[in-house]
Amino acid sequence: MRRMPHDVLLVDDDKLMRDGIRAILERGSEFRVAGEAESAADAVQLCKKAHPDLVIMDIGLPGIEATAEILRHSPQTR
């Protein structure tokens, strides 16, 4: 039985960093990049719509505050 890939949202203001993480994740079939955001505010809005399984975020965006907001709207997201 084939498992569905985990949907991942990449959040970083550095496109090169997002591209690198995307390249690593796309090497396998366990993860699927469902979206990208350049800011914490954009990440919150995307999570409200997409409810990804996982968010990989630069906590310097301010990621801590955004993470709390994301979890309020999408508690299953990690």
Q: Is the pLDDT of residue 1 over 80?
A: no
Query: Positive or negative, the Cα torsion across 14, 16, 20, 22?
Result: positive
**In a domain? residue 3:** no
CA–CA separation, 14 vs 26, rounded Å?
18
CA–CA separation, 78 vs 2, rounded Å?
22
**In a domain? residue 4:** no
Q: Which domain holds residue 17?
A: 9-73
Tell me what the pLDDT averaged over the chain comes to. 91
CA–CA separation, 16 vs 27, rounded Å?
17
**In a domain? residue 56:** yes
What percent of the chain shows pLDDT beyond 70? 97
**In a domain? residue 2:** no
Taking only the tens place, the pLDDT of each residue in 33-50 is: 999 999 999 999 999 898
**In a domain? residue 1:** no
**In a domain? residue 40:** yes
Q: How many domains does the chain have?
A: 1
Question: Crossing angle of helices 40-50/63-73, nearest 10°?
Answer: 20
Higher pLDDT, 60 or 63: 60
CATH number at residue 14: 3.40.50.2300
pLDDT at 2: 64
